């Protein structure tokens, strides 16, 4: 297992309030997934809406095996797209 952290950015996109609400739900999904693995999340930057959505958010997921788990390159979709 690796010791690297994963940096994730979620952007609501051009869908207005609906896109921001979806981005907020996606962040909550990452939070629950991380909690289940006993990883820690540290928010670096967030831009929230009045309706409880997220226009954009950048956060770090910390924990053992985080990077290798979050940057899987196989036949399954990646939950995060690392920048190289």
Entry field: residues in the chain:
84
pLDDT at 83 over 60: no
pLDDT at 24 over 60: yes
Handedness of CA 70, 27, 63, 83 (dihedral sign): positive
At 6-23, the pLDDT tens digits run 999 999 888 888 999 999
**Predicted pLDDT of residue 46:** 95
At 26-81, the pLDDT tens digits run 999 999 999 999 999 999 999 999 888 999 999 999 999 898 888 765 544 555 55
Q: How far apart are CA 37 and CA 35, in angstroms?
A: 5
């Amino acid at each position: 297992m690796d010791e690297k952290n994963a940096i994730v950015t979620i952007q609501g996109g051009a869908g207005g309030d609906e896109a921001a609400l979806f981005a907020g739900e996606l962040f909550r999904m990452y939070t629950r997934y991380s909690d289940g693995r006993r990883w820690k999340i540290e928010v670096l930057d967030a831009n929230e809406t009045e309706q409880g959505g997220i226009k954009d958010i950048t956060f770090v997921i910390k924990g053992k095996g985080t990077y290798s788990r979050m940057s899987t390159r196989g036949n399954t979709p990646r939950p995060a797209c690392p920048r190289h």
